[in-house]
Structure 1
Amino acid sequence: MPFYNTCLTGQRLILLLVCLTGSVFASLNVSQAADEFAGLNVPEGFRATLYADDDLAHDIYSMTIDSLGRIVVSGPGYVRILIDADGDGVAESFKQYADGPATGAQGMYFLGRDLLCTGDAGLIRYRDENADDRADGKPDVFLQTRTGGEHNTHSIQRGPDGYWYLLLGNTTGINEKYITTKTSPVKKPYAGTLMRLSPDLTKGEVMADGFRNAYDFAFNPNGDVFTYDSDGERDISLPWYRPTRVFHVLPGSNAGWRSRSWKRPDSFLDMPPAIAAFHRGSPTGVSCYQQRQFPKEYQGALFVADWTFGRVHAIPMRYYEGSYASDPIDFITGVGQFGFAPTDLAVGPDGSLYVSVGGRGTRGSVFKIEYTGPVEAQKPDLTSEQVAENTSHETKGSPALDACLSAPQPLSSWSRENWFPLVKTIEPNAFLKAALNPGRSDAQRVRAIEIITELLAGLPDSVIEPLLQDKSERVRARLAWSLAYPGPSGQKAKWLNELLQDESPLVARFALETLLQLGDQIDQSECLAG
């Protein structure tokens, strides 16, 4: 997407920095105004409160947080902005953003004041050009797909590359006619699919297929995609039964669903890694925690919701052979006969986890989960001696640059609305220096590479060459990812050949993904010369 054609005044710049570094990061001072909700079990140190009840939004299908940081929910025939006017942690009213989709939206993402969502005709966009919190008219249709059914079009997200990612269930009917790029990882899609659409929504490809009915997905801090797919409940006692699983979705992978009682075994070469399995259930919302309120063990963890059994699992991840392994935690469960049917999850600017409830005509509500336990001391990423040793990479600190590189939940609508305008105020060379600077944290350097790749025309050879030898495998892995996108480098095959031989499985795997994505744009024989 092009930059906004606006200039940042000094006052506006200061306001944006305050939003990024003030209220967003000082999220440990949580409000105690709302009463603790007794119907939910959460781990010690956490607190559940009722943010909104059925009188504000009945039968909620999906939830997001808009570019202004407000909770937005959708159900049959409505999209509503929930309003907490007095800031006590409880919404007391709503604004009706749209009287649709009639089917309800099963996925939403705000781009400024406009809303991209799934429903009615397919992937649609409601516009709010006068910024009055009310859609201006009928939505534009970008991609026609089947919607409304429980196994049709679901979640829409924006990736770290600026592309749009769309998740669709097994009855949506996505086939080769939806593919408009030569380098689509999947050529003949079958069953549920993950599509990738160009930033202007004019081109599409299928990244992975073979899902039964994955409803939502999320990106982790390394830019990897994770989703939670359905089981085949009718096969529960049969040898070929496959449980609900959380997949690390790799480009070109097939999750194995063929028909009601035909599932490929996990031994198939194109099966994506399953980092968790939970037997029976109905997968719904998925979110990755990239905020500062929760304790360290939850930083970068996935949260996945199960509608049928009323639970939310936390999945802390660790590296394992180029992918991830986990020891899941039961994070939220219902108490007694309380009907807890979670449909979606979202992490807010305050660092709390919000959980919507609804589906199939049931009671709608939104719960807020916040951490109120002891505050952990945050260890620095590097020692003061290491920082001092590497200050030569950047001659002068920049609050705006720091805010861009440290923005929490950077792919969310509300976070992007804060950091995106700041990029225009910073010299591009500052991002290049940040990517090279081992005095910064790995997370900041990864974000520098992502911003350069999406918004600043890509990495030049003068930066690529030293990054090949960087000590951080996360930084080298993001370098490998970046080479898949347009940039000034004329030696991509040479660089990929080195990255494919990297001793880190994480780096080598990202290099292979880039090789797949580039296709015949490079001479691939040069990449396999090692």
Structure 2
Amino acid sequence: MRARLVHLAFLAASLLIVLAGAFIAAGARAAPPIDQIKLPPGFSITVLSDDVPSARAMVLSPKGVLYAGSLDGHVYALELQNGHVRAKHVIASGLDEPAGVTFRDGALYVSAISRILRFDDIDDHLDAPPKPVVVTDKLPSDRHHGWKFIAFGPDGKLYVPTGAPCNICEPDRTRYALIARMNPDGSDYEVFAHGVRNTVGFDWNPQTKELWFTDNGRDMLGDDVPDDKLNRAPKAGMDFGYPYCHGGDVPDPQYGAGHPCSGFTPPVAKLGAHVASLGMRFYTGTMFPADYKNNVFIAEHGSWNRSTKVGYRVVRVVVGANGAKPRMEPFAQGWLRPSGDVWGRPADVLPMPDGSLLVSDDYAGAIYRITYAQP
């Protein structure tokens, strides 16, 4: 009997040690150091959630549920209330880099490399998500630039990009380096824009309803060439140059001969080389100062192969509705420390109905909320 009691006591002590270790490990996860983020006067940043691993694109449902895609196979749903997360749900797992999310008619659409999936009536089934409906499974399966930002346009079409399957190559331009659109059920697929190396963010100008998008420049031409681009596509059928011309005025050394840059649509703005411009949105809220109305916010994911790191911030582009007189300035920065260390990488931005701005961070696994109050 005594031996049994000793054994039970040992098991109890071991369990306490395990539980204590788990508690310490959970508590040891450092909160994102948002006190290091610099913003213009009057702006403040808080952590909406630091438990959204690999958070990428975001979309808000009409019922106030925030959905976030990821690169680790999960799709998350955050129930929001008064600027805080009331509950978190994992509505899908095991998907193939489901980075893109968008919402229409009560359904969540999710990109997964070669497939677009639809979760019907999802807001009312967060605890028991439905089996997804396959909208299409006919997109290229290449993983290089394979993850996709998706969104519905004012025309009711689902816009889906497919990036170049390489750093630089001359791919089939009917399948790669493009932005396409389709009906919500996946039918009537058509190419909307050609020569787009890799866009991971787009939005429609609230004044003109024209498509604007970021586009990542190629690598291996040096630290400062070529620029990422902010592009404007007022109509279908435009060509933005890849792989023949980069940044609007840099002929590709391998493929540029016979394809002058003058033959392609120039960018609205050059965004800098290797900054990795991803998610972008027009700001239509009323919380921020009046001169922020209809400005473009862009999440810069940050460089990976530049000798000195750049990006890792959110920038603001002040520009006319027709793309005239663009001016870019830093808005939120500090994820890149002066030492060169990085603790976060902005991936997407999303204006909210209350006028605040959300920023996803796939490196820290966090979503931040930026607000403004008159200083």
Normalization by structure 2: what TM-score?
Answer: 0.76
Distance 1:143 1:287 in 2: 28
> What are the residue-to-residue correspondences of 1:399-414 with 2, within 5 Å?
none
Provide the residue aligned with 1:347 in structure 2: 351
Amino acid at match of 2:325: A
Instruction: Give the Cα separation in 2 of the matches to 1:304 and 1:261.
Output: 29
Aligned to 2:102: 109
Q: Secondary structure at the match of 1:268?
A: helix
What is the distance in 2 between the residues matched to 1:162 and 1:174? 31
Question: How far 1:141 sits from its partner (Å)?
Answer: 3.2
2:210 is the alignment partner of 1:229? no
Could you say if the C-alpha distance between residues 92 and 324 of structure 1 is closer, same or farther in structure 2, counting changes exceeding 3 Å?
same
2:58 to 26, 41, 63: 63
**How do 1:169-184 residues align onto structure 2 when only pairs under 5 Å count?**
169-171=163-165
Helix, strand or coil at the partner of 1:131: helix
Could you say which residue in structure 1 is the equivalent of 2:4?
Answer: none
Secondary structure, in 3 states, of the residue corresponding to 1:136?
coil
Q: Contact (CA 8 Å) 2:162, 2:178: kept in 1 or not?
A: yes
* CA-CA distance at 1:315 after TM superposition: 0.8
RMSD, aligned α-carbons: 2.9
Contact 2:299 2:314 in 1 (8 A): yes
Q: Is 1:132 paired with 2:125?
A: yes
Residue in structure 2 matched with residue 275 of structure 1 by the alignment: 269
Q: CA separation in 2, counterparts of 1:80 and 1:224?
A: 30
Give the Å deviation of 1:174. 12
- 1:423-466 superposed Cα distances (whole Å, 9 cap, x missing partner): xxxxxxxxxxxxxxxxxxxxxxxxxxxxxxxxxxxxxxxxxxxx
Match of 2:293 in 1: 299
In structure 1, C-alpha distance between the alignment counterparts of 2:284 and 2:84, rounded to whole Å: 23
1:216-255 to structure 2, matched below 5 A, reads 216-221=201-206, 222-236=208-222, 241-250=225-234, 251-255=236-240
Question: Alpha-carbon deviations, 1:163-215, whole Å to 9, x = none?
Answer: 22112211299998xxxxxxxxxxx5364111121354310211111111111
How far did residue 281 of structure 1 move? 1.5
Structure 2 portions without partners, runs of 5+: 1-31, 245-251, 303-310
8 A Cα contact 1:73 1:81, kept in partner: yes
Note if contact 1:218-1:227 (Cα within 8 Å) is conserved in structure 2: yes
Give the whole-Å Cα distance in 1 for the aligned partners of 2:170 and 2:151.
Answer: 18
Matched, 1:163 2:157: yes
Cα 1:175/1:163, change in 2 over 3 Å = farther
The share of aligned pairs that are identical, in percent, is: 21
1:243-298 Cα shifts (integer Å, max 9, x gaps): 11111124322221227854658742332433233222112111111121111221
Match of 1:258 among 217, 238, 243: 243
Alpha-carbon deviations, 1:29-85, whole Å to 9, x = none? Answer: xxxxxx9931211111111111100xx221123222123122221222221112345
Residue in structure 2 matched with residue 442 of structure 1 by the alignment: none
Residues 1:37 and 2:25 are matched in the alignment: no
Which residue in 2 is equivalent to 1:80? 76
Deviations 1:350-392 (A, max 9, x none): 111100001xxx3300000111126xxxxxxxxxxxxxxxxxx
Deviation of 1:349 after TM superposition, in Å, equals: 1.6
- Measured in 2, the distance between the counterparts of 1:329 and 1:117 equals 32
What amino acid sits opposite 1:354 in the alignment? L
In 2, are the aligned partners of 1:189 and 1:206 still within 8 Å (CA)? yes
Match of 1:330 in 2: 330
The alpha carbon displacement at 1:232 in A equals: 1.9
Tell me the amino acid that sits aligned with residue 291 of structure 1.
Answer: G
CA 1:142 to 1:67, structure 2 compared with 1: closer, same or farther past 3 Å? farther
Shift of 1:118: 0.6
Name 1:209's counterpart in structure 2: 194
Q: For residues 196 and 215 of structure 1, what CA distance do their matches in structure 2 show?
A: 15
Aligned length: 317
What residue identity is the alignment partner of 1:114?
Answer: A
Aligned partner of 2:313 in structure 1 is: 311
CA distance in 2, matches of 1:92, 1:274: 40
Q: CA separation in 2, counterparts of 1:314 and 1:148?
A: 32
Matched-pair contact (CA < 8 Å) for 1:67–1:111: no
The DSSP-based 3-state class of the residue aligned with 1:161 is coil
Residue aligning to 2:135? 141
Change (3 A) 1:129 1:340: closer
Equivalent residues of 2:210, 2:232 under 8 A apart: yes
Q: 1:117, CA displacement in angstroms?
A: 1.4
Alignment-mate amino acid for residue 347 of structure 1: P
Classify 1:104/1:92 alpha carbon distance in 2 versus 1 (closer, same or farther; 3 Å).
farther
Deviation of 1:91 after TM superposition, in Å, equals: 2.4
Task: Name the residue aligned to 1:357.
Answer: 361
Q: Secondary structure at the match of 1:325?
A: coil
Per-residue deviation at 1:126?
A: 1.9
TM-score normalised according to structure 1 size: 0.55
Supply the distance in 2 between the matched residues of 1:109 and 1:210 (Cα, whole angstroms).
24
Residue of 179, 183, 189 corresponding to 1:194: 179
